[in-house]
Amino acid sequence: MLVFVPLLVGGVTWLANVSPVVSFLVYPPLASGTFTLFSNPEGRYSSPWTFVGGLSLGALSGWLVLELSVRYWTAAPLEPFEVPAGAAAVAILVTGVLAWALSLEEPSAFSSALLVLVTGVDQVAFVGGVLVSSLLIAGVFVLWRTHLYEERARYLFHSMQADDQILVPVRSDDPESLVLFAARLAAAHDAGRLVLMQTVSTDAIAETASEVADESDEVSTDEEATETAEAELTDHHRQRLESLQALVDDAVGIPCEFAVVAEDGSPGETILETAERERCDLIVSPYESTDGRPSRFIWTILKGPTDAVVFRPSTERTEWRHILVMVRGAGETANMMLDFAHRLVERRGSASACTCISEAEDRRKTEVMLDNLVESFPDPIETRISHSSVESFLRTNARNYDLTVLGASTDRSAASRFFSTPTFRRIHDVDCDLAIVHRGR
């Protein structure tokens, strides 16, 4: 709006300066109508036909009333900028009746109906100028809406093109659900690739090296024992990763690579470093807790520079057809969560976006926010608004979904997180799988 409205009004001004067809009185209705088009491209008054037809109808109605007024109402010619009050009232009445009857209700039409009354002998030039300039702006609007606005997710949101090189740390005995969750996310993009990662602690390497040194006569140095231990551990973990690769091939058939990495210190930092080295733009990690709270490993992942999804399964589900996305507001994180849900359900299921509000007067603003958020996706996404808390809403509704997607609140300030605990920390038992999304830097 701030780019195209000034440019288009400036273009019409230039046209008025070089051509007698466009009167300077065209500017007020044209500027306000252009603002309406570009500020709400999907709104009630966003139709190019309504824009052109409404402005032209208003100008024609005012011209008709002015001709009848001069001929039958006021015999004496009018002074410049002199308008009979009755003519103004009739012009608005005629414009309103015709606009309603022809479904051309355009607010700026009433402005053009009044302005034509003060044009004197230039009524024809004014009407022609309205038609020509509105057609020009409507054409630019159609091109802008088709090639920019409706494709805005491609330009504004990182997750619509990226997050298809996915690193999956295998840290549990039953990682099948986690791996297939990540695989289905990657498979939604043509360039999708999965990297299955297994970490090996330095203590495990040292222990295996000690066993090798005791059992093998061919190993003469500690360095050789360590190399042999690393090779044995790598082969052992590779066999496990290959079985998971076979699972991925059967389900989605995307490229799958392996990474067995020595863990020296923090496992979370090791995973973040591996994601950078392997050029992965998304980490899909299992959920881990300590004393009922997210573990230090989880917090490291959720504070890292790489996009991350922490997956907490409640069942052994391997397909997710009905997904609930809990959003707090519009933005990159909300779009990222909806994009993930859209990837998982494809055309076989349904996705819902929900916001919980505390005040009834927030409902209309929230409806507009959700509409703007979901309309950039090609498939329909249901929107829901609840007057309860997120915890209460999920206790009642989670059983109707396969997966609930929540934000990690890492885009909030530390003070905000201190006074309002992130939602996922307040949810301990939910009757569906849970995905916690972190938007990296």
CA–CA separation, 323 vs 439, rounded Å?
A: 19
Between the alpha carbon of residue 126 and those of residues 24, 109, 111, 132, the distances in Å are 9, 13, 13, 10
- Cα dist from 334 to 42, 128, 325, whole Å: 20, 46, 8
In 10 A of CB 410, how many CB atoms?
19
pLDDT tens sequence across 54-95? 999 988 988 888 777 767 665 445 555 566 778 888 888 998
| Cβ atoms 173, 286 nearer than 8 A | no
N- to C-terminal Cα separation, the chain:
28
Is the per-residue pLDDT at 416 higher than 70?
A: no
pLDDT band per the 50, 70, 90 thresholds, residue 420: low
Q: Count CA within 13 A, CB hemisphere, residue 229.
A: 23
**Mean of pLDDT values over 24-53:** 83
Residues in CB range of 420: below 8 A, 6 or more apart: none
Tracing tokens 């790598």 back to the chain, one arrives at: 234
Per-residue pLDDT for 417 more than 80? no
User: In the 3-class helix/strand/coil scheme, how is 202-242 assigned residue by residue?
Assistant: HHHHHHHHHHHHHHCCCCCCHHHHHHHHHHHHHHHHHHHHH
Report how far residue 249's alpha carbon sits from residue 246's, in angstroms, rounded to the nearest whole number.
5
DSSP code for 73: I
Residue 240 in tokens: 């496990």
The C-alpha atoms of residue 349 and residue 192 are separated, in whole angstroms, by: 21
Check residue 76 and give its pLDDT. Answer: 47
**Token pair belonging to 319:** 């397909």
Evaluate if residue 403 carries a pLDDT over 90: yes
In the chain, what are the domains? 4-150 (no CATH), 164-307 (3.40.50.620), 314-441 (3.40.50.620)
Amino acid occupying residue 213: A
In 105-229, beta strands by DSSP E: 165-169, 193-201
CB atoms within 10 A of CB 51: 25
- Residue keyed to tokens 């088009």: 37
Q: How far apart, in whole angstroms, are the C-alpha atoms of residue 417 and residue 173? A: 33
Tokens 């909300």 locate to 334
Q: Are strands 322-326 and 256-263 parallel, antiparallel or unpaired?
A: unpaired
pLDDT, tens only, 352-366? 999 998 888 889 899
Q: Quick one: pLDDT band at residue 267, thresholds 50, 70, 90?
A: confident
3-state secondary structure (DSSP) of residue 151: coil
Answer whether 335's CB lies under 8 Å from 399's CB: no
* Nearest by Cα to 37 from 54, 51, 27: 51
Q: Which two tokens stand for residue 7?
A: 């440019």
Alpha-carbon gap, residue 267 to 250, rounded angstroms:
30
- pLDDT at residue number 351: 93
pLDDT band at residue 330 under the 50/70/90 scheme: confident
The pLDDT score that the predictor gives to residue 192 is 85
Q: Which one-letter DSSP state was computed for residue 173?
A: S
Instruction: Kindly give the interhelix angle for 108-115 and 27-39, rounded to the nearest 10 degrees.
Output: 170
pLDDT at 326 over 70: yes
Contact between 200 and 236 under an 8 Å Cβ cutoff? The reply is: no
Report the range out of 80-84, 112-116, 229-233, 283-287 with the highest average pLDDT: 283-287
For residues 228 and 234, what is the distance between their CA atoms, to the nearest angstrom?
Answer: 10
Provide CB contacts within 8 A for 185, sequence distance 6+: 163, 164, 166, 192, 282, 284, 309, 340, 343, 344
Residue 412 structure tokens: 């909030």
Rounded distance between C-alpha atoms, residue 439 and residue 408, angstroms: 8
Structure-block tokens of residue 375: 């309309």
SS3 156: helix
